[in-house]
Amino acid sequence: MIVKQLRSRFSLCALLTLAGLARSTFYYQVQVQSRPDPDAALKQEVERIYHEERGLYGARRITAVIRNSGTLVNKKVVERLMAELGLRSVVRPKKYRSYKGTVGKIAPNLLERNFTAQRPNQKWVTDVTEFKVANR
């Protein structure tokens, strides 16, 4: 905090007025900065597991590893700590899982893209599209 750095040369009241801060805000920040980090040990554990698994484990799997070791921790806490540490898991590409099955009979192309007709009802075309809804 810049107010804390300049406090030795200027009065605290003048600095807080210039910065637009309340006195209580300044002392609250001083108190917060002097507290030890409550998640320091957990951060080290998350970082150790992340690097041990070469970045392949995300928050869910890291949470599972920590829980298996006997420490109760929430997945959201691990997500927050990973974000603070700048750790992002490697997203593997999804495997292509398309299956066409047996292809039905394809009708012959009689029009060959000649859609002009000399009289009404001479040329009719249609298209059939199949959608899979709710695995049916």
Give pLDDT tens digits for 3-62.
Answer: 777 777 888 888 888 888 888 988 888 888 888 888 899 999 999 999 999 999 999 999
R_g (Cα) of the chain, nearest Å: 33
Residues 6+ apart with CB under 8 A from 3: 12, 15, 16, 19, 21, 26
Give pLDDT tens digits for 81-126.
Answer: 999 999 999 888 888 877 777 777 788 888 888 888 999 999 888 8
Distances in Å between the Cα of 104 and the Cα atoms of 14, 91, 97, 128, 130 are 84, 37, 20, 12, 12
In angstroms, the CA 86 to CA 110 distance is 61
pTM for the structure as a whole = 0.54
Question: Is the CB of residue 19 less than 8 Å from the CB of residue 4?
Answer: no
